[in-house]
Amino acid sequence: MLRGFYTAASGMMANHRSTEIISNNISNINTPGYKTDETSLRAFPELLLQKMGQKHIPNTGMNRTYQQPLGNLSTGVYTQENIVDFSQGEMKETGMETDMAIINGEMPDEDGAIFFTVENEDGEERFTRNGHFTVDGEGYLTANNGSYILDENNNRIQTNGLAFDIANNGAVQIGEKEILLNMSYVENVNEFNQRY
């Protein structure tokens, strides 16, 4: 009888986790660059229940041990993994000159994706598809979380407070100077999601 409670509890916990993921997706529906999470559920292996007992064999004075199959028992489900959907999102005109978007063209691998390369507050290289950029108080081009946008040589992009334009190829043009952004290609975003 208690096994049934454990099976029901595992189902409730798995559905609770799925509901949390759906709620997170809904709450971030207007977040630039947000990629939805999808979850997959998996059943625990089934158990084969058997009744064990002894039967008296007439005229021998011996007992024989036997097993009688009773059937299968499912032991519940669990959340196997969360998968981030890196497919192309909808483009929106923001009216902000510093905002950028990555438009996926043909990829060499169907599981691949392109990312902006940024440097976080610890100096570590990270990737983002959120192109909601701004210029900080020191004149550096930054992401909305404060990470520095990197150029093709992994240097922070300094605007010196000057007006700049962004070309269709992703180059930042400050006066006569053209700075190419560091764009990173990841072959398998599912492995990438597990690593970072």
Per-domain residue ranges for the chain? 2-82, 89-195
Strand pairing report for 171-174 and 62-73: unpaired
Residue with the bigger pLDDT between 118 and 169: it is 118
Question: Can you tell me the mean pLDDT for 146-175?
Answer: 84
Q: Is 86 exposed, middle or buried (0-12, 13-18, 19+ CB in 10 A)?
A: buried
pLDDT tens across 166-176, in order?
777 778 888 78
Question: Can you tell me the mean pLDDT for 85-100?
Answer: 78
**Confidence at residue 64, expressed as pLDDT on a 0 to 100 scale:** 67
Q: Which residues contact 74 (CB under 8 A, 6 or more apart)?
A: 7, 43, 44, 46
**Confidence at residue 61, expressed as pLDDT on a 0 to 100 scale:** 64
